[in-house]
Amino acid sequence: MKFAKVVFWGAGIWGVLVLAPLYFMFDVIGQKDPPPITHPGFYYGFVGLGLAWQIAFFLIARDPVRFRPMMIPSVVEKFSWGIAVAVLVLQGRMHRSDILFGGMDTLLGIFFVVVYVSTGGVRWEDSGEKREERREKK
C-alpha cells in the first residue's frame, strides 16, 4: 500500500512541477520552438486537463484501494502521452529531447499498472481510514 501512495504522490507532484509553468510559457514556446502556437484554446486546455489529472493522482494517493478504479484511466492518460511522444519523435515531428517527458509518463504508467495489480486483492474495508477507525474503537 505504501508503494501505491508513493507512486501516485510522486506522479502528482511531478506533473504539477512540469505542467504549471506552462501557463506562463505560451509565448516563450513559440519563440524557442517555432512555429508559434496558433490555437491557444488547445494549449491551455491541455495544461488545465493535465493539472486536473494531477489532482486525481493526489486523491488516489490518499486511498489507493478506494480509488482503484481511477487507476485504469490514469494508466491510459500516461501511456497515451508516452506513446504519442515516441511516435512523433520517430516521425521527426518532435525533438528527441522530448523523449524524456514521454518516457517519464510511460514509466509512471508502468508503475500505475503495478500498483493496480498489487491492490487487487485488498478490500476497501481493510484499507486506509476504515482500518484506522477500527483500531480507534478497540
Interval 83-108 mean pLDDT: 96
- For residue 122, the model assigns a pLDDT of 80
* In a domain? residue 35: yes
- pLDDT(135) > 60: no
**What is the number of structural domains in the chain?**
1
Task: Give domain status of residue 135, yes or no.
Answer: no
Domain, as residue range, for 42:
2-122
In a domain, 33, yes or no: yes
Q: Has residue 138 been placed in a domain?
A: no
Range with the largest mean pLDDT of 99-103, 118-122, 124-128: 99-103
What pTM was estimated for this model as a whole? 0.86
Residue 46: what pLDDT?
Answer: 96
Query: How much is the mean pLDDT over the chain?
Result: 92
Task: Give the DSSP letter string of the chain.
Answer: -HHHHHHHHHHHHHHHHHHGGGGG-HHHHHHHSSSPPS-HHHHHHHHHHHHHHHHHHHHHHH-TTTTGGGHHHHHHHHHHHHHHHHHHHHTTSS-GGGHHHHHHHHHHHHHHHHHHHHTTT--GGGSHHHHHHHHHH-
Q: What is the pLDDT of residues 2-32, one digit of tens each?
A: 999 999 999 999 999 999 999 999 999 999 9
Asked if residue 37 belongs to a domain, the reply is yes
Q: Is residue 132 part of a domain?
A: no
131 within some domain: no
Looking at the domain assignment, is residue 89 inside a domain?
yes
Looking at the chain, the whole-number percentage of residues with pLDDT higher than 90 is 82
